[in-house]
Amino acid sequence: MKRSLTILIMLIVFLLFTTGCWNSRELNELAITLAMGLDRATDGQYLVTAQVVNPGEVAGKGGGATGHSPVIIYQATGKTVFEAIRRITKESPRKIYPSHLRILVIGESLAKEGLGKPLDLLSRDWELRSDFNIAVAKGMRAEDILKVPTSLEKIPANSLFSTLETSAKAWTATNAVTLDELIANIVMDGKQPVLTGIRADIKGDKKTALGKQNVEMIDFPARLRFQELAVFDRDKLVGWLNEKQSITYSVITNKEHSTTVNITCPKGGKAVYEVKKSNTEMKGKVKNGKPEIDLHIYVEGDVGEVECQIDLTKPESIDQLEDSYEKGSEKMFQQSIKQVQENNKVDIFGFGEAIHRADPIAWKQLKKDWDKHFENVSVNIKVQGEIRRVGTISNSFLDKLK
């Protein structure tokens, strides 16, 4: 009995060291896809555009020696996104491999129809991670965005990903939204999703702008720019925010990392307030059956630039600049919220969620037609701005020139 048990244990140990990966695939069998675009084709099917890395042009010190493009575009149509991706193999010698996807671009026309169906595959496919960013091609098709070559970054997908991440941290009007966050907002009660917009600005001849010459010029004719935010009602695109509204959204939803704000000086002229830290506390309540929101926005920052006559060595001057920032911001936030209520009519700020947390019983009645209630929600805003530093100098040398 002991002998049989010993043999069995040895066999198990032996098998552990002889197993392999049953579904392993070599890198030279895969088409590494870093960017993908989704559009509606003319025949009503889905058009999938895959931006695939050309490994011979990006690997090692000799990368790019042949002068070929660092990426290759493959496209196919299908009744479903999955079918279109598989159809790409009719022209691609390797199977599309999206595990390293950096960005997904969705054409505006498809976004207006709804993202729910195409997003199902992306959330279900085990080969896809959910940490890639998603953007909407503003007034364009996604395929046109992915065909623009970029400078600095050889691979356009990496350029798009890095630009969006940098812009979201340095300029409040843009937001990096991942797949998980988008789906969570689509299914959430009391908050609707937003996505950052992107468009290609093309000057002159389109053939030249989308060719190799685009990255060989100092002032290249085709540039990819991230725009303001796209507003969704569940999974359907219903409108766009302007820059001030986009900034307001980021501040209220605690997505402001850093930005710059022009403020008015007491004697005229302007200064720049550089936001370093921002936190918004949102509280909901129901008074006499009507929902109400209180926003307390706390901001810390520095004086980034001075173009006015002001003595920054005096504490009262700092107080005046802080007061100017607070009043100007409160006015802008109020106006932007009102515009979203009147024009877009969907709650992107999460006011409904705040009401739900504060009064679950009242929310059961309000959520049935929350969009109607949202249009009339009263919002009380209190901005508290503090200036921590004025830079390496106190007063500007411009005073000496006057």
Identify the weakest region by mean pLDDT among 200-204, 216-220, 321-325, 339-343: 216-220
DSSP-derived 3-state class of residue 228: strand
d(CA 30, CA 381): 53
**Mean pLDDT of the region 335-344:** 96
**Mean pLDDT of the region 179-195:** 92
Q: Examine the pLDDT at 16 and tell me if it is beyond 80.
A: no
Domains and CATH numbers, the chain: 29-240 (no CATH), 243-401 (3.30.300.210)
d(CA 159, CA 223): 11
pLDDT for 170 equals 84
pLDDT for 20 equals 53
pLDDT for 293 equals 96
pLDDT for 22 equals 45
Q: Examine the pLDDT at 120 and tell me if it is beyond 60.
A: yes
Under a CB-based contact definition with an 8 Å cutoff, are residues 337 and 305 in contact? Answer: no
If one compares 2 and 225, the residue with the highest pLDDT of the two is 225
Q: What angle do CA 157, 161, 167 make, to 5 degrees?
A: 140
pLDDT per residue as tens digits for the range 70-90 = 888 999 999 999 999 989 988
d(CA 278, CA 297): 7
Give me the helix-helix angle, 179-187 and 116-124, nearest 10°: 130
pLDDT for 150 equals 81
C-alpha torsion angle, residues 140, 145, 151, 156 (rounded to 10): 160
Q: What's the whole-number average pLDDT of the chain?
A: 85
Q: Examine the pLDDT at 382 and tell me if it is beyond 50.
A: yes
Bridge partners for 76 per DSSP: 48
- Residue 121 contacts by C-beta under 8 Å, 6 or more apart in sequence? 80, 81, 82
d(CA 199, CA 136): 8
pLDDT for 192 equals 94
Under a CB-based contact definition with an 8 Å cutoff, are residues 174 and 226 in contact? Answer: yes
pLDDT for 60 equals 54
**Mean pLDDT of the region 104-126:** 89
Q: Examine the pLDDT at 2 and tell me if it is beyond 70.
A: no
Model confidence at 194, pLDDT cuts 50, 70, 90, reads: very high
Model confidence at 3, pLDDT cuts 50, 70, 90, reads: low
pLDDT per residue as tens digits for the range 242-289 = 999 999 999 999 998 889 999 999 888 999 999 999 999 999 999 888
